Amino acid sequence: MEWEKPPPPPQQGEDFNGGGGGIFVKVMTDEQMEDLRKQIAVYATICEQLVELHKSLTSQNDLAGVRYGNPYCDPLITSGAHKITGRQRWTPTPMQLQYLEHLFDQGNGTPSKQKIKEITTELAQHGQISETNVYNWFQNRRARSKRKQQAAPTANNVDSEVETEVESPNEKTKKPEESQPPRILCSRTEDLCFQSSQGIDSLIGKMELPGNYDPYIHQDDFMA
């Protein structure tokens, strides 16, 4: 589902802003742009799928005329709402990695703020990197290191899985105080099992949106 090649690397030189010229404009960060694009794409996709779903369900007789001459964006549909964002993620260079590992081995736990700043500055000598990257790296490194260690009690101690517990063991999320009536409204979207099930549920699950827009606006304007 990848495009072809990884994202166009350098990614520069082009400015597609149509003219923006000397006009009063707003500037968005890539982050914001991503959010917007993501959201729109997600909605667009969802709407289409909903419509399709609806049609296939309602038109049991006249679906004869369902001709698709229109290649939708399958790549997107099948894989959910990602992909649309051509986001790239940081990847440590060998040198950076080496340094990071080195620090990690020194035992000191999470470097913490100030330290991170220093490290970042240091590593920046070897390539793009940000404090966040460093921070995340340590977080992940530690977490995974711990998990691995924990999952290595070789031999015995095979308490196997006691799961069977489908709903949260310590359902802290739910308080007896507010048991809601049998509402049929999207019963959680926890199961993000897309792929085969074109059910509404899976679609709803994709409606995540990060933004801060104000979707709660005047439905009347459009839904009148």
Q: Does 217 bind a copy of itself (CB under 8 A)?
A: yes
Among candidate residues 46, 42, 44, 28, the one with its CA nearest the CA of residue 84: 42
Binder of DNA out of 56, 59, 78, 98 (CB under 7 A): 78
Query: Which of the residues 38 through 77 are near DNA (CB under 7 A)?
Result: none
Q: How many CB atoms lie within 10 A of CB 197?
A: 11
* Whether the Cβ atoms of residue 132 and residue 140 lie closer than 8 Å to each other: no
Give me the least distance between CB of 143 and DNA, in Å please. 4
Does residue 140 interact with DNA by CB under 7 A? yes
Position among 32, 85, 120, 198 found at the interface with DNA (CB under 7 A):
85
Residue 90 CB, nearest approach to DNA (Å)? 3
* Closest alpha carbon to 194 in 45, 61, 44: 45
Q: What is the DSSP letter of 2?
A: -
Total of residues contacting DNA (CB under 7 A)? 44
Question: Which DSSP string do the residues of 117-181 spell out, in sequence order?
Answer: HHHHHHHGGGS---HHHHHHHHHHHHHHHHHHHHT---SS----------S-TT--S--GGGPPP
Binders in 175-194 for DNA, by CB under 7 A: 175-177, 192
**Contact between 132 and DNA (CB under 7 A)?**
yes
**Residue 50, C-beta contacts closer than 8 angstroms, at least 6 positions apart:** 200, 203
Who contacts 116 (Cβ-Cβ below 8 Å, separation ≥6)?
A: 131, 134, 135, 138
Binding mask 86-125 for a copy of itself (x = CB under 8 A): xxxxxx-xxx-xxx-xx-xx--------------xx--xx
218 binds DNA (CB under 7 A): no
- Does position 90 bind DNA by CB under 7 A? yes
Instruction: Determine contact, residues 53/198, Cβ cutoff 8 Å.
Output: yes
88 binds DNA (CB under 7 A): yes
Of 45, 83, 119, 203, the one binding DNA by CB under 7 A: 83
Q: Binding residue for DNA (CB under 7 A) from 125, 146, 211, 213?
A: 146
Binding positions for DNA, rule: CB under 7 A:
1-2, 5-7, 9, 12, 78-83, 85, 87-92, 97, 109-110, 112-113, 132-133, 136-137, 139-144, 146-147, 172-173, 175-177, 192, 210
